[in-house]
Structure 1
Amino acid sequence: MKRFVLGAIAALMAGGAQAQGTAPTTEWRFHNSYAPTRIESQHARELAADLRTRTNGRFVLNVFEGNAMNLRDADALRTMQGGTPEISFIWPPFLGRDDAAMSSILVFGLIRNAQELNRIMPALQQSLNEGVRRWNIEPVGYMQLGLLDAAIFCRSPVRSLDELRRVKLRVGSREQVETFRTLGVAAQIVPQQELYSAMQTGVVDCALYPPRIVHTISLQEVAKHATSTGFAFPPTPYIILAHQGRFRALSAENRTALQQATAAMEQRSARFEQDAADDEASRVRLRDAGVTFHPTFSEAEQQAIRTAALNTWDTLMKEAGGQGPAWRARIQSALTGN
């Protein structure tokens, strides 16, 4: 009886609110697999706060951080078709099992700076939008990953591609293995949690790693020499994914507010010029910790890396099939200006 009375009161209150023209509150669950301390988590919280402000509290994103919903990144394209959660974000390289083309949409050796990244961004996002919609998921917008310098950290000085060919290099993905092997470098994948000991014991002599976060695994303690390749790690942005049916069911006002809040988040996360300053600051800290930074690979060496990367990219996208080759052609055309 008590439950019935409470239900009736709630129904009357809802009816009264509608009679007075007050729109009901829409609540969505936002899945975030990253820890609260990550910058991506901060962006997600800011998105939720911005959306609440834009809608006067009528559209609420309840952010679940630290993978509180117990979902696997590799399953994102399947999970987002079920409606639980209603919204999430994913980094395309995590999608390799279900969509090889989106997973390989950028590779190491393509992007060197903010100018090149901004040049390809419209073509890149157009391609990712097509890929996500193929799964009956709505791409609401993007969160930028940023530019992370790809440097070679080594036990002893390695200042050129020729010297790199004489040692064993750790990389983090198959496409990096293929690109360096094309250049005559013995590259292998070593899990991040094993990298410190692998470097310490000589299993590998060098590792491709970002100076800005090298301290998170204390790699600078066993790799006292570093040389920038001149390239960034693949700066593929995170895609903001929404359940397509729930997205289409939103009121026009809420849909617009969500898209505007996401666009504002993309602007906040696109700090590409600041990325260069942050990388330099990290190099200063590492020099103070005893790391020697040698000159960046020469222009000729960078061109050799890019040529090898383009070949790897072509192979991966042909293997992926579907829209992969067309996406590669579109993005490469934007990169080269053709």
Structure 2
Amino acid sequence: MTRFSTLTAAALSLGVTATGASAQDVTWRFNNNYAPTRPESAHIRNLAENVAEFSDGSFTINVIEGGGMNLRDADALRWMQTGTPEIAFIWPTFIGRDAPDLANLYVYGSVSTAEEHLRALPAVQDALTEGFAERDIPVVGFMALPIIDASLFCREPVRNLDELRELRLRVGSREQVETFDALGVAAQIIPQNELYSALQTGVVDCALYAARFARSISLQEVAQHAVYTGFPFPPAPYAIVAHADSLEALSDEHREALDRALDVLEEDSFQFDGDAEAEEAAREELAEDGVTWYDDFSDEDQEEIREAAAETWLTLSEEGGEDAVQYRDQIIELIRE
């Protein structure tokens, strides 16, 4: 199969050339701001290949990676209204400014296992479909975010919340700051590109980070003590969204090809069996680099985190409005089944 992927500006001049009444050749652009090496990028390239195959080559999706279209994630609801691009994925966390009702469908500490996530997933997907539809942006499919464990990487041994309360913690988002503040932990947001220096110089003592990505920023060189907190990072799925008029203009044949390719994408991405193996392999590599892994946080500590996260979730949901509170309540009910 041919890989229909491009990073050139020439792709920006390509547009829809078909109407709903014909099966003329169609070219769409897929905006992907992630680097080509990310697993999500591989899924999107496969989507484009399958669309081409299922349409016998008459429907092309040019995947523009690495921010090649110069479109900010935070502005996604705005540029998806313009038709440039015709298709993209959006992670809800990125759109808090324009869609606070969708940005916190999950928070750190809301789910602890893939099983809990899968129970809640239908409600999360319904909320995203409904929320985007209200903004005239159709959701055509979903792509899973892997289950990525959130661990503490520290300059000195930390085995529990009490020890963490004596230290300064780096986190990556406001909701994490709110949760750890409620637990009596001094937390602050530090950008990823400043994290190594912050740990090296003692600006912070610990960082909430993923073992699977720690070596990419050489975290093991400055934080050689690690412990799993008992929760993954919030695994809200990516919504695959299309420009409404472009989607309406597709012929029946091209819409069928797109739907079939999206079915394959969902089936491939919502496979969490390999996540545990990937986590174990990452921890082993870090241990070989000198990182000491301590026993996971106790059940009691995990329950404290879950309770604090629930309060954070409620606060952020109330800020997001009535719909956000309703979404949260539905998701919690499914998690607890």
TM-score of the pair, normalised by structure 1: 0.92
Q: CA separation in 2, counterparts of 1:23 and 1:197?
A: 55
SS of the residue corresponding to residue 264 of structure 2 reads helix
**Residue 180 of structure 1: aligned partner:** 180
TM superposition shift of 1:253:
2.6
TM superposition shift of 1:180:
0.6
Give 1:160's aligned amino acid: N
**Residue 120 of structure 1: aligned partner:** 120
Q: CA separation in 2, counterparts of 1:152 and 1:223?
A: 9
**Residue 35 of structure 2: aligned partner:** 35
Q: CA separation in 2, counterparts of 1:317 and 1:272?
A: 27
Q: Is the 8 A contact 2:170 2:187 kept in 1?
A: yes
SS of the residue corresponding to residue 71 of structure 1 reads coil
The yes-or-no answer on 1:103 pairing with 2:103 is yes
Q: CA separation in 2, counterparts of 1:333 and 1:85?
A: 36
SS of the residue corresponding to residue 157 of structure 2 reads coil
1:14-163 superposed matches below 5 A? 23-163=23-163
Q: CA separation in 1, counterparts of 2:160 and 2:68?
A: 45
SS of the residue corresponding to residue 284 of structure 2 reads helix
Give 2:202's aligned amino acid: G
**Residue 11 of structure 2: aligned partner:** none
SS of the residue corresponding to residue 83 of structure 2 reads coil
SS of the residue corresponding to residue 28 of structure 1 reads strand
Q: Is the 8 A contact 2:223 2:291 kept in 1?
A: yes
Q: CA separation in 1, counterparts of 2:169 and 2:83?
A: 43
The yes-or-no answer on 1:240 pairing with 2:230 is no
TM superposition shift of 1:22:
8.4
**Residue 13 of structure 1: aligned partner:** none
The yes-or-no answer on 1:330 pairing with 2:333 is no
SS of the residue corresponding to residue 323 of structure 1 reads helix
TM superposition shift of 1:252:
2.3
**Residue 283 of structure 1: aligned partner:** 283
Q: CA separation in 1, counterparts of 2:120 and 2:273?
A: 16
Q: Is the 8 A contact 1:114 1:273 kept in 2?
A: no
Q: CA separation in 2, counterparts of 1:255 and 1:24?
A: 13
Q: CA separation in 1, counterparts of 2:118 and 2:102?
A: 19
Q: Is the 8 A contact 2:23 2:251 kept in 1?
A: no
RMSD after superposition? 1.4
Q: CA separation in 2, counterparts of 1:160 and 1:28?
A: 50
SS of the residue corresponding to residue 85 of structure 1 reads coil
Q: CA separation in 2, counterparts of 1:267 and 1:138?
A: 20
Q: CA separation in 1, counterparts of 2:322 and 2:80?
A: 21
Q: Is the 8 A contact 2:91 2:236 kept in 1?
A: yes
Q: Is the 8 A contact 1:149 1:232 kept in 2?
A: yes
What percentage of aligned pairs have identical amino acids? Answer: 53
TM-score of the pair, normalised by structure 2: 0.92
Deviations 1:294-330 (A, max 9, x none): 0000111111111110110000000011410110011
SS of the residue corresponding to residue 33 of structure 2 reads coil
**Structure 2: gaps spanning 5 or more residues:** 1-17
**Residue 249 of structure 2: aligned partner:** 249
TM superposition shift of 1:257:
2.2
Q: CA separation in 1, counterparts of 2:307 and 2:26?
A: 50
SS of the residue corresponding to residue 137 of structure 1 reads coil
Q: CA separation in 2, counterparts of 1:318 and 1:66?
A: 34
**Residue 217 of structure 1: aligned partner:** 217
The yes-or-no answer on 1:264 pairing with 2:252 is no
Q: CA separation in 2, counterparts of 1:252 and 1:302?
A: 50
SS of the residue corresponding to residue 138 of structure 2 reads strand
Q: CA separation in 2, counterparts of 1:253 and 1:212?
A: 40
Pick the structure with greater CA Rg.
1
Q: Is the 8 A contact 2:23 2:254 kept in 1?
A: no
Give 1:254's aligned amino acid: H
TM superposition shift of 1:148:
0.5
**Residue 8 of structure 1: aligned partner:** none
4+ runs deviating over 6 angstroms: none
Q: CA separation in 2, counterparts of 1:214 and 1:271?
A: 23
Aligned length: 318
Give 1:235's aligned amino acid: P
TM superposition shift of 1:55:
1.2
